[in-house]
Structure 1
Amino acid sequence: MSISVFKDWVYRTPAMVYNKDSCILLVFSNATTAVGRHRRLAMRKFLFDRGRNFSPMWCKTQIVREASLPGHSSMNPCPMFDEENRKLFLFFMVTSNEHLHEEHLFYKSRLCYITSNNFGHSWSEVNHLTVCLPENCIALAIGRGHGLQTEDGRLIIPTFAFIDENPTDENLFHMQSLCIVTMVEKAGSLVPENTAECQMAEVWGHGGRFIYCNAINKDRRLVEAFSEDNGDTFIVSEDGKFANTCTGSPGSLLSFPVKDKTAMGSDVSPSPNRWLLFTQPSISGVELGVYVNKTPCDPKAWTKPWIINRGPSGLSDMAYLGDGYIACVFETRENEDLDNVVMKIFNFYHIWPNTDDTDGCLCCCTVM
């Protein structure tokens, strides 16, 4: 059982960001009118009570009107909270309503962002992201999901670039995942693979901190890559468990601190031991599974999925709330098409004793 995050319109492509100091979770989504003429960004706010196992105290829904331009549609929200400067970023794509239903939509779109100094209560005007793009890059796009702030304060937005293969043919190009460092608005490294939408997470390995990237290539197969220099360069893993796995849609990544069982109920200090969670719908788009990797430096160490939704399921995103609680939002449907976003909350205690059990049992979920 779960709670609907959005209603009334058609809502797709969820993403969220959490403020651990105020216990406020913001969930963003594409909002499309019934006739599909234009898209906006919707936001719903949840306030959690840590003393009641992170049960929501209140919530409200609104259209983020600042994230729009006249005659354009907005889509693919990607929030990121700069904890050091207490500033919230919301990245998104804008495209002319005239091009909304064209095949190469992102090719004719622009990457923009707005900011908030009060965690979504009010927003700035629209800013256009200007970066020093790689050679022959003709456009920049963003998928969906959240951004990343590393332990040293670096802000990273996972995007993908359109690389021109033949300047005389506008339809001949390929896409590559790209890491953008927003603190100085410069491009990081292209993942050396023909990939598009991606997500990134910072984890710890034997050699220290590194960034793990999970992306989708042109054949809709998963690509795993690692960066040991904070996103400046990436190396593709060729023999991971997910390597070349066929998938229907991109997944969601979450890195969070893991302590021993006696300390799981406390977030007193960050642990160098971080595990990776990865949510991925089945190829048929029915079951939504959560994969666990206790040694993220080993791409073969993923468990089989724990099923948290029996279906239907689509794109998802995750956020770590603290005290072992994890929120997961995902697309689902009441009719023929995916048209709604719901959220489930589960505690890692439910997975902890059975991380070596790969039977794919149903994960116990807290109903909101």
Structure 2
Amino acid sequence: MATDSLPSAFTLFESIQPGPVYRIPSLLYLNSHQVFLAFAEKRTSSSDVDAKILVLRRGKFQDGSVEWDETVELSTAVKSGYRSMNPCPVYERLKQVVYLFFNCVEDGVNECSQVLWGRNAARLCYVTSQDAGLTWGQVTDLTESVIGEQVQHWGTFSVSPGHGIQRACGTLIVPAYAYIIRYRCCLIPPGFFTKPRTFYLYSEDGGERWSVGEPLSRCGTGESEMAEIAVSYGNRVLYCNARAVAGPLSCRRPSRVEAVSLEPGRFEIVHPARQLPESDSGCQGSVLSFSCPASDQFSWLLYTHPVGSGKDRWWRHCRNRTNLAVYLNRRPLEQRHWEGPWVVQSGPSGYSDLAYLDQASTFACLHECGDRQPNERIDFRLFSIDDVLRNIEQRGRGVATSLKHRQ
């Protein structure tokens, strides 16, 4: 797939063979401090079961560039006998506190076995920082106090890797998903009756108390990210973009799933995003909202996800995480208004996370990539809204010219 002008990249985490492997990027930008917090999982191999500890690099943004500190291991974000996974930070503006949510999963237990036998081995945890990521407090386990008995009906669960958000009203949002057991039968493992469904955790009092929202009505949704959309003067809604998985007998590549929440904890509108194709096995993607350049009363959306090579058959696409691309939506609540893709990383690409620097009208993207495999390194890129508009409009003109020639 052809690419336009590519924003320059800087490698933050590089896997070494033999040695540590870094996966699952997560990015947070603190406007008040002009500081980036870039998180990842440090593993002994690319396998999920070999995750060990979360790592962090802090970056100071100044004059259009970023100066990065060395990598540090988050030694307080651990539980004995568990591995730390899926970093998902959210910033509470009033108290200036970073909540870093993550999962602690019992050592040696993989997700498939938890789902198959209906025996959850994950814990919901967080640590906090009150000095923009320089130091971190001790781990807090919310599993019993927040999830409670619901966890008995889950094969397993996880916070979604990426970032959470704070809404204009102050509510903190942390995306998550659970493998919900629909039935139990003494002769058949519960995994045969289990489907993943997206939901979110939220706090309306600055992180003192947390609640579990209702899952999406659509089954087969997993990792997600969320954004707040300003749709008219003073009116805002919560938007969700979720990973989707097709059924085993489906011959059609699934689409991402979009949802809108009009009240805390619930999604009222759920539909497939036909312009955003998903692979059969799925891949995490990132989304964020930002003010329309012409009016700060309305929001646009930006989304990143691998788009494949453009030559893949549906039965191969599940293995082809290739070409990280950017999509733009100038009418977020209307279906079929995604524009793009603009490919910003050619070759193997995987998970990604976006941040927006509103004072500089600049986007930042932290993403997995490599020369042969998408888990070779985690790169960081900066690009502007002008870059997005120019390249996506060029892409649109190219498609229109191609269609005209075919006619």
TM-score of the pair, normalised by structure 2? 0.78
Aligned partner of 1:275 in structure 2 is 300
Aligned partner of 1:349 in structure 2 is 386
Aligned partner of 1:263 in structure 2 is none
Looking at structure 1, the residues matched to 46 and 350 of structure 2 have their Cα atoms a distance apart, in angstroms, of 21
Cα RMSD of the aligned pairs, angstroms, is 2.6
Aligned partner of 1:210 in structure 2 is 237
Looking at structure 2, the residues matched to 239 and 78 of structure 1 have their Cα atoms a distance apart, in angstroms, of 24
2:55 corresponds to 1:32:
no
| Aligned residue-pair number | 349
Looking at structure 2, the residues matched to 5 and 93 of structure 1 have their Cα atoms a distance apart, in angstroms, of 23
Aligned partner of 2:288 in structure 1 is 254
| Aligned ranges 1:18-57 → 2 under 5 Å | 18-34=29-45, 37-49=50-62, 52-53=63-64, 55-57=65-67
Judging changes above 3 Å, is the alpha-carbon distance between structure 1 residues 327 and 236 closer, same or farther for their aligned structure 2 residues? same
1:239: how far off?
A: 6.6
The gaps in structure 1 that reach 5 residues or longer are 261-269, 362-368
Letter in 1 for 2:384: N
2:125 corresponds to 1:112:
yes
Q: Name which of structure 1's ranges 148-157 and 239-248 shifts more when overlaid on structure 2.
A: 239-248
2:163 to 120, 134, 146: 146
| Aligned ranges 1:192-231 → 2 under 5 Å | 192-194=217-219, 195-206=221-232, 208-219=235-246, 221-231=255-265
Please state whether the residue corresponding to 2:287 is helix, strand or coil: strand
Looking at structure 2, the residues matched to 307 and 217 of structure 1 have their Cα atoms a distance apart, in angstroms, of 21
Please state whether the residue corresponding to 1:224 is helix, strand or coil: strand
Letter in 1 for 2:195: H
1:134: how far off?
A: 8.8
Judging changes above 3 Å, is the alpha-carbon distance between structure 1 residues 148 and 353 closer, same or farther for their aligned structure 2 residues? same
2:197 corresponds to 1:176:
yes
Looking at structure 2, the residues matched to 305 and 287 of structure 1 have their Cα atoms a distance apart, in angstroms, of 10
The gaps in structure 2 that reach 5 residues or longer are 1-7, 247-253, 309-319, 399-407
Looking at structure 2, the residues matched to 338 and 243 of structure 1 have their Cα atoms a distance apart, in angstroms, of 22
2:364 corresponds to 1:327:
yes
Letter in 1 for 2:333: C
Q: Give the conservation status (yes or no) of the 8 Å contact 2:126–2:140.
A: yes
Looking at structure 2, the residues matched to 97 and 140 of structure 1 have their Cα atoms a distance apart, in angstroms, of 15
Please state whether the residue corresponding to 2:13 is helix, strand or coil: coil
2:215 corresponds to 1:190:
yes
Looking at structure 2, the residues matched to 134 and 258 of structure 1 have their Cα atoms a distance apart, in angstroms, of 43
Letter in 2 for 1:217: A
Please state whether the residue corresponding to 1:351 is helix, strand or coil: helix
1:258: how far off?
A: 2.6
Looking at structure 1, the residues matched to 111 and 264 of structure 2 have their Cα atoms a distance apart, in angstroms, of 37
1:246: how far off?
A: 5.7
1:103: how far off?
A: 4.2
Looking at structure 2, the residues matched to 100 and 244 of structure 1 have their Cα atoms a distance apart, in angstroms, of 24
2:158 corresponds to 1:158:
no
1:189: how far off?
A: 2.4
1:104: how far off?
A: 3.7
1:107: how far off?
A: 3.7
Letter in 2 for 1:181: Y
2:70 to 52, 60, 74: 60
Looking at structure 1, the residues matched to 139 and 387 of structure 2 have their Cα atoms a distance apart, in angstroms, of 42
Answer 1 or 2: which has greater helix percent: 2
1:3: how far off?
A: 1.2
Looking at structure 2, the residues matched to 159 and 290 of structure 1 have their Cα atoms a distance apart, in angstroms, of 23
Please state whether the residue corresponding to 1:287 is helix, strand or coil: strand
Q: Give the conservation status (yes or no) of the 8 Å contact 1:305–1:360.
A: no
Looking at structure 1, the residues matched to 395 and 46 of structure 2 have their Cα atoms a distance apart, in angstroms, of 44
Letter in 2 for 1:149: Q
Aligned partner of 2:251 in structure 1 is none
Q: Give the conservation status (yes or no) of the 8 Å contact 1:221–1:247.
A: no
Identity %: 28
TM-score of the pair, normalised by structure 1? 0.86
